[in-house]
Each structure stands twice: as structure tokens, then as C-alpha cells.
Amino acid sequence: MGKEDRDQWIVKCPKCGRIRESCRHVSRDDVRRIIHLLDAGVEVYQAEDEREPPETHVHEAPRPVAQIVTPRFTMADLVLAEATTEGLLDALTELRHKGLMYRRWGLKKVMKKTKGLSLLFAGPPGTGKTMAAEAIASELGRPLHVVNYAQLENMWVGETEKNIEHVFHAALEAGAVLFFDEADAVFQRRGFMATPWMNRDVNVLLAQIENYPGVVVLATNLAKVMDRALDRRVDIAVEFPIPDAALRQKIYTRLVPKEAPLSKDIDYEILAKKYVMSGGSILNVVRQAMRTSLRRGKRHRITMADFTHAAEREMKKSTLMAADHLQEPVRRERIRGYA
């Protein structure tokens, strides 16, 4: 072993310690062979050091991109405006008689393929869009696949497109109704203001919907921000407006349990006419009236005053959420003229 090799490497025998050229246990040829391998970049480890668990691929989604939901509601559970119910019944009619429309009535000859059904549910929050999606799936005897946007979008180039294709393919294989709740989050209008990858994702979504042979439902509170190319791809657009007084009275009747201890002064008609709100807000009113009653004790009945107090609180919610609590109120001062 040359001088340069001795300066670069230190060879130790497990019994004799550091050696220069050889010892009783390691020959000179062995030392030269070791130095040659080290110079070539060979690394030696104990066997247990190599037993490391394989790394998870960074592009693999840890959770599914859609949540499987068993529908809880049917059409009989919905309290909707007549035009809204008509749109849902139109969708169910086509889905139940698709074979008749496309084969016997010749629609397949015109379209050259059997098309799926795309529905758009648009309206304010709490008007029954999610319930209607579950009712559609329930009437068809199918599960509901609710898209998980947090898992759908991926930071890696091309992975979001793969997730989009996967969510449509998985719903089709399971025979499920595919549901995009708050669809405006992913179907935003394309344009110069949007990022290139957002435009690309919308392109993939539009292409999937156009060629999808299954049932897909898009629900939104902001239909005006959604891409205009959806107009042609959506087969049935259903509006979910705020219910009128008659429907609100019916919703009160449905949402207040028969077991609830009500006083004789409860008048749903007065509540329905005085407070304009959605079905979701009415449910909040019912729960708050129960809480107010329970604060007085379990033996007290729920009174009309409890419902009125709860409705007033619910109406103030919108004002509270619209307020900017970080900005100081504008101070008004009188500006005097010059002397």
C-alpha cells in the first residue's frame, strides 16, 4: 500500500486495530484489494441497514377522490317549488326510459351514441340541492359519489387530470350518481385571468361530462361564475329558489318532530309569512327554538316566542356575516368653513 493510500484511508483490523500494510489477520493483498474497492466508490453496509420500508410514491393520493354516500332522502321527503320538482321528474323519466328513447324511438340514430344525463342544480344555500341529489340516487337505487375537491386537485403536473378521469371512471364502474357539490369551485370560467392549469382542468372536466354515459349532478350557489361551455353540456338545469310562504309553512310542519312538546300558541303560518328564509335556515330555527326552551328546563314546552326569537336570530346571521369587523367605523366630522 502506497503512501498516498495510507493518507487517504485508514484500515482497522477488528482484533489488532489500525494497520499500515498487514497484520496477522489481514494480508497485504487483502488491504490492497480493500483500498482498490474504496477508490472505485464501493460502499458496504450491514444487512439490517438495507431493510428500509419503500417510500410512498409522491403522486399517489392517500385517500379516494370521491366519498361514497348512501342516499338518505327520497322524492317524497322534498318540499320544493312546482317547477323544481318538474325538473327532477324529467330527469328521472329519461333515466327510467332511456332504452325506449334511444332504441325504439330512434334517438340513438340521431345522436350516434347513448348519452348520459348531466344536471345542474342552482340556487341559494339551504334550498335542497344536496337533498335532491340524494333523492335522485335513491329513486334510481344507486349510491352517490360526492367529489372530494381537496383530493381531486394535486400540485403535480398532470395528476389533477388523472384524478378527474379516475373519479368519473370509478363512479361509472360502481353505477353511482356522481355529485359535484359547490361545483363553481372547479368549473370556473376560463379566461386570461385564470391560471393555465385551471383552464386545463376545466377542459378535462368538460370533456369528461360530454362523453360520460352515467349520471352527473352539479350543484352551485354561483352559477354565473361557471364556464359558459357548460350550457351545451348540461341536459337539465333546475333552479332551487327560496320557498314561498306556503312552502315554508309546509317545511315547518315537516321539520318539527311530532314528539316535540309544543305549546298551543304555535302558528307556522305566521312564522312562514313573516320570515323569508330557506329550508336549511328553517331547520336552524327549529333547533334554536328547542335550545331556548331547554334553557328554561326539560318540563317547559316550546312556545311561539321561542320560535320567534330563533327566527329573529337566524335573520340577523346574514347581517353579522356581511360585517367587516377588522375595519374601524368611519368617523363623521363637521368641516367648518374658513374664517
Domain ranges in the chain?
A: 3-50, 66-239, 245-322
Q: Does residue 157 register a pLDDT over 60?
A: no
Rounded to whole angstroms, the Cα distance separating 32 from 11 reads 10
Domain 66-239 class, CATH top level: alpha beta
pLDDT number for residue 82: 96
What is the pLDDT confidence band of residue 34, given thresholds at 50, 70 and 90?
A: confident
Q: Is 75 exposed, middle or buried (0-12, 13-18, 19+ CB in 10 A)?
A: middle
pTM comes to 0.74
**Joined grid coordinates for residue 330:** 368611519
Phi and psi at residue 155, in whole multiples of 5°?
-70, -20
Highest mean pLDDT among 34-43, 151-160, 164-173: 164-173
Confidence band, pLDDT 50/70/90 cuts, at residue 197: low
Task: Report residue 169's pLDDT band, with 50, 70 and 90 as the boundaries.
Answer: very high
- DSSP-assigned letter for residue 97: T
What was the pLDDT predicted at 45?
62
**Residue 302 gets which letter from DSSP?**
B
| Mean pLDDT (whole number) for 317-332 | 71
| Same fold yes or no, 66-239 and 245-322 | no
Q: Give residue 61's pLDDT.
A: 44
Mean pLDDT of 98-121: 88
Per-residue model confidence (pLDDT) at position 337: 61
End-to-end Cα, the chain, rounded Å:
104
| CB count in 10 Å sphere of residue 73 | 18
Confidence of residue 331 (pLDDT cuts 50, 70, 90): low
Average pLDDT, the chain: 84
pLDDT tens digits for 59-105?
A: 444 457 889 999 999 999 999 999 999 999 999 999 999 989 988 99
Given this model, what pLDDT does residue 8 score?
A: 64
For residues 165 and 207, give the distance between their C-alpha atoms in angstroms, rounded to a whole number.
10
Would you call 58 helix, strand, or coil by DSSP? coil
CATH number of 245-322: 1.10.8.60
Task: Give the dihedral sign, CA 258/262/267/272.
Answer: negative
